[in-house]
Amino acid sequence: MADNTKHLKNAINAKRQEIAQEEAQRAEWADSLTEIEKLSELQGESEDMKAMRVEMLESIAAHDARLKKLRPELAALEAELPQAPAEPAGPKFDPEKHPLLRKAMEKAEPEKVVVFNIGDICEAQWTDRSWYKAKIQSILGSVSAPKYLVRFIEYDDTLTVDRSAVRPLPTKRKREAEPASAPAPSTPVTSTPHVISGPASMNPNAHAAKNAGAADDGEAKKASRVPNKGTLKKRQSAWNDFQNKATKKGIAKKESMFRTSTAAGSRVGFTGSGKGMTETHKRTRYDHKGEVEQDDEYAVDRKRM
């Protein structure tokens, strides 16, 4: 069946090409006949033109005869092709039943215009394009295009804005904690004596005490990790005792090689390294009076000279 259909399609394509060639040749003869008729009108019809005109008419008639024969053959071949199954008129699925397409097809409801009155708390847009909590002081402009004089609550500034720069306060999305309520009395359930069936009960007093304890723990200060003065002294004395015992037994040296001596000629670091220690200069105030006295003495000496 598939091979017959393929051969039939090939025959149809060949027949169409043959018809196209005949039509192209007929069109060329028809154009030539038109040019001959124009020349005969301008220059007069000669014997050669008459012979050419007759030849062209015969060629056109021959092509028409061939086309008249080929076209019915093409129609017969096309009729032998198997008919393709007709596609259903309606769509394969209902777009209204598809969840995504249904949302796209739904018409968006127009937003309701919010009307603000004097004294209403809302959110207004400041010059930095950010929204802040504000209170409407007065309404200006017309009904169709009102303007609002708002005062920002947190900053105590006023500004005149359009309707597009005012919006209601956002609704709270976070669920507030529900107060602990006593559980509803449960109805007795009849069951076997060895099986316990029934909802779990909760003591509301214990739940409230737990919440109160958690609040107290949060408010209480964190315990300091720094030990008190007595503990520090105890640890210091224990370390000194250990050092004394180690020194007596010869485990540790009494003087460290890195310890710096307080003598005048001692050096920084262990023995034989570094530079010798220098004296620390005392910080004293500059004596301005002594300088004035020296200047006076110098002036007196100059006069004597």
Summarised one tens digit per residue, pLDDT across range 96-105 is 666 666 666 6
**Residue 103 covered by a domain:** no
What is the arithmetic mean of pLDDT over 270-290? 70
Looking at residue 182, its pLDDT comes to 52
Which of 49, 80, 111 finishes a domain? 80
Which of 167, 198, 227 finishes a domain? 167
DSSP designation for 165: G
Q: Which domain range does residue 36 map to?
A: 2-80
Looking at residue 150, its pLDDT comes to 92
**Residue 252 covered by a domain:** yes
Query: Between these two residues, 1 and 231, which has the higher pLDDT value?
Result: 231
Tell me the helix, strand and coil percentages in the chain, rounded to 5: 45, 10, 40
| Verdict on whether the full-model pTM lies above 0.95 | no
Q: 75 and 129 share a domain?
A: no
CA angle 121, 127, 130 (to 5 degrees): 60
Percent of the chain beyond pLDDT 70?
A: 61
Summarised one tens digit per residue, pLDDT across range 244-259 is 877 666 665 556 666 6
Summarised one tens digit per residue, pLDDT across range 269-278 is 555 555 666 7
pLDDT of 167 over the 80 cut: yes
Summarised one tens digit per residue, pLDDT across range 68-109 is 888 888 888 888 877 766 555 555 666 666 666 666 666 555
What is the arithmetic mean of pLDDT over 147-157? 88
Looking at residue 293, its pLDDT comes to 81
DSSP 232-267: HHHHHHHHHHHHHHHHHHTSS-SS-TTPPP-STT-B
